[in-house]
Each structure stands twice: as C-alpha cells, then as structure tokens.
Structure 1
Amino acid sequence: MTNTLDPANLRTALETLHQAGVPGVFAEVRDHDDIWRGAAGVADVDSGRPVTADMRHRVGSITKTFTAAAVLQQVDNGEIDLDTPIGHYLPKLVPGERGAAITVRMLINHTSGLTEYLPRAYPSLAAFPAVGKTTPQSLDDHRFTKFHPTELIEMGVSTPACSTPGGTPGVYSNTNYLLLCQLLELVSGTSAEKCITRDVIEHAGLRDTELPDGPYIDGSHSLLYEAWFGMIDPPRDYSVFDMSWVGGAASLISTVADLNRFFGLLLAGEIVSRSSLAQMQRTGPVISFEGKTIEYGLGLHKLTVPGRGIYWGHDGSVWGGGAISMTSADGTRQLSIAVNLQRWNRLDAEGLPQPHPIDGALQALIQLALGA
C-alpha cells in the first residue's frame, strides 16, 4: 500500500507551529498501517528541555468522549436509557421540572440547557467567556483547591438555564458531564474514575492514559503555559494543578499514541456496540465556549474535510495545555496533536481575541495531517 504520509512536510509544519509561538508541539499521524510521530520545541522554556512525541499530556475535553463511551457501555448493558430523564436517576441533583425535562441524551450532547459552572468556581473569571473583563488571579488562587463534583453541579444547576432542554443549538457545558459521572457512579457501584478506567481505558489497552487523583502529571511531560489572552505575560506554567474542577469532563492525561488507538477502536465498534456508536454519531449544532457552532453528537465532534470526507473526534484544553484528536470515518487516517500553550490570542479594545500566527500554523498542520 502506498504511503501517503509526507514526513518532511509534517516536520516542517510542526516546526512552523513552534516558530509561530507555541513553545512545544508533538503529534502522531496514522495512515492505514503507516505511523509518523514528531515533535518540535521545548517542554520547559527555562531549561530548554525538548518535547518528545511520547510525552504524557493533559488533553482537556477529549475526556468527554471517554466518559460518553462509559455511559454508552451502560446503555448497552441495559443499566441506562438515553431518553430517560436524569431526574429519574439523580432526583436530588436535578430536582423538579428540570429533572423531568432533561434526559441523559441531552446531557451527553449538550442540549440540556444547564449552565457552565466555571465562572462561579473561579470568581475572578466571573465574566467568562467575556474574557476581556476577567483576570487570571483565580488560576493561582485555586491551583490546589479540591472541589467536590456535587458542589460544582449545584453551581450549574442553580444558575438560570441557558436554553430550553432539547432545544437547538445546544450550549457546551461541563455541568452536563459531571452529572454523567454521578450517573455512572450510581449504576456501576464504583467511582466514575474507576468505571471509566476499567471499562474504557483498560478495555482499550491504553497504557499511558489515566484520570489523575492529584495535581501532578506522572511520567515524562511538558510544562503547560497559560497566556490568558496576553494577561499572563510571559505565560505561566500550570502543569501542577488540581483537576477536580473538571473531573470526568476534562481531567484526562494521555499520549498522542493512546488517543489515536482509542478513537480507532471506538470507531471500529470495539469500545461500544455498533448501535451505540451510531447514537454517538447523531449530531446537532452546539455553541462552544469560544462562541463557535460545532457539529456535536454524544461525546463526538464531526468535522467535514473537503476532499477527504468526514472525521470524528474531539479537542480539549486546560490551563496551559491543549490537544486535538481526529479519525476518518473509515478509521484509516488519524491525527492527534498536543500543544503546551493556551489562549495565545491577545484582545482588542472590545475584548475580542485577535488573529495570531499560531492560528494559521495550527490549521495548516491539521489540514496537512488529515490529508487535505
């Protein structure tokens, strides 16, 4: 079979992204049985320690696909029904009319109308996502804060709804996925972290992937530099951070190789049943944190690449770290990228993010890796 990967161009694209301003970037691209891994830049701007393609990394909301898969496994087992109201399962957490109106499906595809809890958990981000009016002080104040998930859920549920349950477009919210984790605990009889680890991570044979129980990243990893739209200058390292503020919504640590393996197995029907996979791939419009409209299913993004067809996957960010993982519908082409800088765009007088060379360089790398 002809190798359609171009290692020289992929290396150049990585280096271009680094030169555009990302301290370190690493990736794995797969085309059928051909695998390319590469890295450019540094894991530590002070020491100059280089990034490597096998580093472990916080991958943010890619966690949601793992959590969704664990829920769909319980659907396959007959323990959860997608169209049953969440109030049936968790009446104390989502009581009354809202609990009766919001189904499990609506939580997974972000059409519940439940509001994001982030501004209340991090008070100085109260204007989030109107970032021009915020300061990053809460990041330092809460570096070692241990949140309980029900505390965060209460913040989201007690805030006025951002949309009507089941309405479109949906609105992206971590509150939905913390509730799904509580649902997993109810039906599995164990913690959500243990359930996801056993039924998804271990089932897929992911040796370098975990849901952490503390603020540290074990093993070889990069520092994670948060710029917060130029308000942290120079960007500050937040690789040590208690991730209980997102839990099963965005706390996963993984590698680019493990991410490609996971999405490859998921789309091959080896993580959830084919019928559940079909449910995951039923998409609708959802408004992201950045205000963009994305095509979202049950824990999966849908991306249509001109000339290459449909790709499935997810992206994610945490304080200082970001990742994206996409797999073609037929499973033959895959990309996973990790970067160690976030919110690099500065803001204009109206508080709107301005274009940055990183934006174009990142998109060029993605397009090249996807074969576009």
Structure 2
Amino acid sequence: MTALASAAAAQSPADLKPTPPVPVPSGPAAMASETPAAPASTLTKADVDSWLDGYMPYALQTGDIAGAVVVVVKDGQILTERGFGYADVKEKKPVDPAGTLFRPGSISKLFTWTAVMQQVQAGKLDLDRDVNDYLDFKIPPAFGKPITLRHIMTHTPGFEETAKYLLLNDPKLAKPLDQAMKRWVPTRIYAPGQIPAYSNYGASLAGYIVQRVSGEPFAQYIQNHIFAPLGMRHSSFVQPLPPDLAAGMSKGYALASGDPQPFEIIDLSPAGALSATGADMAQFMIAHLAHGGPLLDKATAEQMYANVNTPIPNLPSMGLGFYHEDRNGRRIVGHGGDTDVFHSDLHLFIDDGVGLYLSFNSAGREAAAHVLREHIFVDFTDRYFPQAKPLLPTAPTAKEHARAMAGHYVSSRGSETNFMRLVGLLGEAQVVANEDGTISVSALLNAARVPKRWREVGPWLWQDTEGKEHLAAVVKDGKVAMFSIGGFAPIFEFVPAPGNLDAGWIIPVAVAALAVLALTALSWPIVALVRRRYGYNPGITGRALVLHRATRAAAWGILVFILGWTMMLAAINQGVDALDGRLDIWMRLMQLVLLAVIAGTVASLWNAYDIATRAGRRPWGIVWAVLVALSLVFLVWLAINVKLLTPTLDF
C-alpha cells in the first residue's frame, strides 16, 4: 500500500479553532449565491420530542430495526431521553433509556482515551514517550520511529488492520486483556504519524497501558474512575455482564424480523466492550461538555478536543481520541461505534453545551441503521444550528480533476500480511469521472444505496449534490495521493491502489482466467465420457498423459480453492464472530489445496511446452494449452499476492 507523509504537527492546547470552513468565492460570482438558513428551531424538550416522534417510529419500521435510544443533553442537564421500539421483539419489551443497556461499540474508546488523559494529568503517562516504556512486551521496531500515545490517539501508529477474535459469541474463547494484546502484534505498515489508519489494536494497547500504570484491571479502572464519579450505575466493560446488569441488556438483531443474536464478546475490550444505558451515556456527555467535569481538568480536556492532526485540508481534524465532525460553523467532536448488531453515534457540540447520543440494536435492512444515524446527526444540526450555505460555483478544473481522480483506491485501514488483503481488493472504491464533470465513488452511497455525485467547488474540493458533505484530495507531484470525506478523514483515507492490488485490471483478468480453467475442468469428464461412448483413443500415453491429467487436476484444484474461500468469506460476511478461530482448519486445508495447484501449475507449463514442440499439433491446441497454463500462473500469483498462503494464521 502506498505510504504517504501527511501527518500535521500537533497543535497547542490553546489552539481551539474549528476546522477551517470551505473557502467561499469572492467577487461577482459569489453575489446572491447563498442558500439562506432555515430559522433555527428552539432546542427544547418539546421540540426535540416532537421531531423524534415524527422521525423514529417510521424509520425503525421501514428499516426493520428493532429498537433505538436517543438522548440529548444541554447546559449540564438531560434535555430528553427517549426509547423507541423494542429491546426484546418476541416479548414486546420496550426500550427504556434509563434501564435498557445497549452496546455502543467503538464509542467505548472515548472512555479509554479519557482514562489515558487522566493518567497524563496524574503525571504517569507522557503522550510523546515510546509506548514500549510502559509495556511488558515489545512493539517490534519499524521505520526507525517509536509509537507514542499521541500516535495511538490520532490513529496514526501505522498498524495494519486486525480482525481475528474481534467479536466472539463464546465467552470461553475470550482472553484476559494482557493475553489478548500479546497474542499477536499487528505489522506496522505506515511510519508513525504518517497516515490515519483506524486501529482497534492501538486503542486496546492504550487501555492496557492504563491498566499497567494504574495497577488496576482495565474494567475496574473505568468503574472506579469514570463510572462511579459520574453515577453511571448501569454501565460496564465486564463481559459477559454481571447478573444485575444482564437483565437490562437489550437483545441485538441483524433484522428486527429475525432472531436475536448472542451477546457479543469484544476480546480487545478497551476498543469496544462497553454496555451502557442512554441515561448513563448522558452523564458522560455532560462531563465532557463541562470540559472534563469531574473527570479531567479543563486544560487536559481541551487537549482532547483540539485539532491535533488534519490529514486533508478543508476536512475535519482529529483530536486526541475524539474526531471532529464540525458542521455549520460549530465545533463538534464525537465518535461512532459498531458491533455486528449494535450501531451508535455520539456527538458533542463543545461550545454550545449540547450532546446527542443515539444507538440502534439492529443493523436493519440494507444497513438502514448506518444511514439513519448519519441523517439524524445532519438533520439535528441543521434544525437547531442552521447556517446559510454558499452555492459555490463549479470549479473550472472540474473535468480535468475528475479525470485525475478516476481510478481504484484502497482504504488506509487495511492489511498487508494476511488474507484481509483479499478483502481490501474485493472492497476497493472506484472513482468514476462522469460526463458532466462530477465524480462518483462506488463506496459512498446515498440513502437510496446509489453512489453520490460530487461536484468540484474548489481546488481538489468536492461537494455532494445535496450539499451536506465534502470530499477532498491531497495531490503530490500532480497525482492524487489520497482522498476522503468529512466523516472519514480524521481516521482513514482512500489511497490509490498499487498495481498489484488494482481491481481495475485484476478482477477482469481473474474472471477470464477462471472461465478458461472452468471450461478446462468441466471438459475433462465430458470429453472422457464422449471418448468412452465412441471408443476413441487419442493416443496420449506416458509423460504426455501424466502432464495432461495434472493440468486438468490443477484446474479442478483452483475451482475447489476459490469455492472454499468464497464460502469462508460468505461466513465472515454473515458475522465477524466467524473469525474466532473456527475457520483456521479450513484456511489450512485451502492452503494445502493451493500447494497442490502450484505443483499442477508447473505441470501445466511443462504440458504447454510439450504440446507446442510436439510435431503435428494443431495451432488451437497449442493456444489453449498456453492459455490454461497462463491462467493457472495468474491465479496462483493472485492467491499468493493477497496472502492466502502464509506461515501463520494471524490476522
């Protein structure tokens, strides 16, 4: 993956300016080019409740979402806390914001980051010290630079993605935090501070450091130093939940119309193991809106909210743990969170004393919960903090820059040493230059699940056609080095796919090669039956017969290999709990199949040479033998390239 040097220097804690706004054109072109803001609705309980009542029930029903909790705080008080739908569909148990626990997923990290800053404030941790100084194991050296807590809190330590044991359904498979951290240290694929690549391992490393320097188990530390001071009596990082809290835990669903899923165990617990009620999350928001409240002093808290790293100009920055979501001239920090079944967001309007938390206990039809939570945040901001939006003219460079953007991109949040590299290839984002000068990105969809169109409104700056989001690119030496959108920019970027991972050419060639080998494999038994039926003897004997059969066997082997991996990826797509080690034996089996295919590929090359040099062979027979050999070579190369043949099964 392309390495990019894009980290911004850390800013002073006093530098509390929001991310710079989108530049507005000046001169005649800017005159009368503004959409006036709608009058702000008054942020009262009555107004919010009325708005939510018109929003949520229909959205849950059409999205096949079982239940949700929404909490709004203002000026140190809970403005409203609402439960919608069911915590248990079968029992028709309604969601109670004060008593029903949800799983906020990666919002848990905000508690981990807060714990880190408590230890910084206490003088036990230094944000810029090598984290190896705090560990009882070593992060291997790479790039000649150590990893610091500042890197970890800005998601720039450079770790590749981790997935194994991320979510578990069997508590027996869970490990204590120290063992989970030492089981496998992911490879560092970027230099520290170079490029954001969201890391669950990094966040858990921070939690483990808190455990070590405080002398308290991580879950107990959070209980003693965050939950207790805030009166969060219905919250826990313990997994499974203690009996007194388990009774209040909401069921989790893929679809409300489906069966409930088991309680999810997050092995890297500091990254996402929290269970909490909406009312308890309100207390956490109130504390941070009070610039630390009883948790942190004001100066330390403000370090968390400041712009620490701005990977892409004109897009939101990363704070220390919190990422910026600045909109409508407001300074907004927050975090999202997802398990397989729970999907949540937390937003703090830092200078307005307002917080919004929402969580859904189902993914919903076509990932409806993801769309819904994004729209609630945007619509809430526009309703209560409206701002006139400039109608920026299309940049004169639109078509030129659209052509420059066109291509395939991989997420910086990826892997280089394991099969997750294949997942990156299959999930690449394709940027298309449209005839009207706009661009579309296959991975960025609107509510109708159709790629959004983006119009360039400034140098390398695009706005979606709804005017609610921005996309920007970093260009170096005339080439696009990376791009992202406002919602992603602080934590991961899209970077150009390298040639050996570019789906633009790899997928078509792979399909063609697979077609050749499928025809070869299927023709083998068919031709054999026809020959037996008519008593035809082709006269192939000895070495030629062995090579012929080995080539056909290799073709069948590659089909078995691809089918095996297709089935495993389908299982993973059904739920990442499948990555709890149960697939290891099948991965090893597929590696044995691949080794057999490699041997068959050597035989196919020999077979092609033998046929090409044998007198009296028809040209078509020679061409087909060469095509078969090249198809096998390509697919074997591809399997090795995307790390389907590895000495370990760490990922």
TM-score normalised by the chain length of structure 2: 0.47
Query: Partner of 1:121 in structure 2?
Result: 165
Match of 2:265 among 218, 224, 242: 242
Question: CA offset at residue 98 of structure 1?
Answer: 7.1
Match of 1:367 among 361, 378, 390: 378
Q: Any idea what the Cα deviations from partners look like across 1:54-91, whole Å, max 9, x if unmatched?
A: 21111111111111111111111111100000112216
Say whether 1:64 aligns with 2:124: no
Match of 1:79 among 99, 118, 124: 124
Match of 1:300 among 322, 330, 344: 322
What secondary structure, in the 3-state scheme, does the structure 2 residue paired with 1:62 have? helix
Q: Any idea what the Cα deviations from partners look like across 1:216-245, whole Å, max 9, x if unmatched?
A: 752423211136xxxxx96542352333x1
Q: Is the 8 A contact 1:59 1:321 kept in 2?
A: yes
User: Cα RMSD over matched residues?
Assistant: 2.9
Match of 1:27 among 58, 65, 70: 70
Structure 2 CA distance, aligned partners of 1:294 and 1:241? 32
Structure 2 CA distance, aligned partners of 1:299 and 1:106? 10
Query: Partner of 2:199 in structure 1?
Result: 173
Query: Partner of 2:53 in structure 1?
Result: 11
Say whether 1:205 aligns with 2:231: yes
Please identify, of 97-106 and 198-207, the stretch whose mean Cα deviation from structure 2 is larger.
97-106
Q: Is the 8 A contact 1:28 1:256 kept in 2?
A: yes
Distance 1:319 1:34, change over 3 A: closer
Distance 1:34 1:262, change over 3 A: closer
Say whether 1:45 aligns with 2:69: no
Structure 1 CA distance, aligned partners of 2:183 and 2:319? 25
What secondary structure, in the 3-state scheme, does the structure 1 residue paired with 2:229 have? coil
What secondary structure, in the 3-state scheme, does the structure 1 residue paired with 2:355 have? strand
Question: CA offset at residue 253 of structure 1?
Answer: 1.1
Structure 2 CA distance, aligned partners of 1:241 and 1:144? 12
What secondary structure, in the 3-state scheme, does the structure 1 residue paired with 2:81 have? strand
Structure 1 CA distance, aligned partners of 2:226 and 2:374? 30
Larger Rg: 2
Q: Is the 8 A contact 1:146 1:242 kept in 2?
A: yes
Q: Is the 8 A contact 1:172 1:286 kept in 2?
A: no
Structure 2 CA distance, aligned partners of 1:240 and 1:324? 20
Q: Is the 8 A contact 2:289 2:354 kept in 1?
A: no
Identity of aligned residues (%): 24
Q: Which gives a bigger RCO, structure 1 or 2 (Cα 8 Å, sep 6+)?
A: 1
What secondary structure, in the 3-state scheme, does the structure 2 residue paired with 1:334 have? strand
What secondary structure, in the 3-state scheme, does the structure 1 residue paired with 2:84 have? strand
Structure 2 CA distance, aligned partners of 1:207 and 1:99? 45
Query: Partner of 2:253 in structure 1?
Result: 225
Distance 1:45 1:368, change over 3 A: same
Match of 1:265 among 261, 267, 287: 287
Query: Partner of 2:152 in structure 1?
Result: 107
Structure 2 CA distance, aligned partners of 1:343 and 1:285? 33
Query: Partner of 2:598 in structure 1?
Result: none
Q: Any idea what the Cα deviations from partners look like across 1:317-370, whole Å, max 9, x if unmatched?
A: 12311221212112522211110112753xxxxxxxxxx655544333223444
Higher helix proportion: 2
Provide structure 2 residue ranges, at least 5 long, that are not aligned to the other structure: 1-41, 386-651
Q: Is the 8 A contact 2:343 2:369 kept in 1?
A: no
Distance 1:260 1:189, change over 3 A: same
Opposite residue 275 of structure 2, the aligned amino acid is I
Distance 1:89 1:276, change over 3 A: same
What secondary structure, in the 3-state scheme, does the structure 1 residue paired with 2:160 have? coil
TM-score normalised by the chain length of structure 1: 0.79
Query: Partner of 2:491 in structure 1?
Result: none
Opposite residue 364 of structure 1, the aligned amino acid is H
What secondary structure, in the 3-state scheme, does the structure 2 residue paired with 1:15 have? helix
Opposite residue 208 of structure 2, the aligned amino acid is Q
Opposite residue 263 of structure 2, the aligned amino acid is V
